[in-house]
Amino acid sequence: SPAIIAAVERLMRRVEDFPAAGVQFCDLTPVLADPDGFDAVVAGLVASHEIGSVDYVAGLDARGFLLAGAVAVQLHTGVLAIRKAGKLPPPVHSRSYELEYGAATLELPADGLDLRGKRVLVVDDVLATGGTLGAAVGLLDDCGAVVAGLSVVLEVPGLGGRDRLAGTPLTCLTVA
Ligand code: PRP
């Protein structure tokens, strides 16, 4: 919507050469810190889903956590934190992936949470190469879950993210 695009363009901070030379970092912190900005992006992420169509909303470490909690309340679901490696006690499901810079691993608890057949909406702040969301899809697949959708606030085009995620419904509220 125009309100979301305006809020993101007004408030987003673009940082050159972070965290590596040649990478532009799109920081949505000021959007989420703004009451109207946060309200607009949460409403946008909720809009493409009906109550009852999703069992869990999962947020990706770290800014995805902020969005997932708010979206989950709106969709009347539970919330999941998909963690970076080394935070959870064993046993865990885990998936490694490549970043624009280096590599990383995402994890979910393997005990105490049964995702078999559950419909999970995955939310994050930014889609760039799609490595992070792609790993989340693989991780949820390992857990037996059904990925109901992938929703992000900002798509950075030209890095192949959209192609890498082909096959799973993808919603991007704005484009960098
Ligand atoms: C950023 C962003 C996404 C990811 C997108 O997180 O919040 O999660 O990169 O990039 P990709 O599409 O190329 O995978 P980052 O890895 O910087 O971690 P952070 O949220 O812990 O800062």
Q: Is residue 17 part of a domain?
A: no
Q: Is residue 39 part of a domain?
A: no
140 φ, ψ to 5°?
A: -65, -35
User: Catalytic: 13?
Assistant: no
139-161 pLDDT, tens per residue? 999 999 999 999 999 999 999 99
Domain range for 106 is 50-171
User: Catalytic: 119?
Assistant: no
Q: Is residue 151 part of a domain?
A: yes
Spot the catalytic one: 10, 95, 100, 162.
100
State whether the beta carbon of 129 lies less than 6 angstroms from ligand 1.
yes
Q: Residue 96 maps to which CATH number? A: 3.40.50.2020
Q: Is residue 1 part of a domain?
A: no
Q: Is residue 43 part of a domain?
A: no
Q: Is residue 89 part of a domain?
A: yes
ipTM of this complex prediction, to 2 decimal places: 0.96
Q: Is residue 107 part of a domain?
A: yes
35-91 pLDDT, tens per residue? 999 999 999 999 999 999 999 999 999 999 999 999 999 999 999 999 999 999 999
Ligand 1 centroid–CA 3 distance in Å is 24
How many domains are contained in the chain? 1
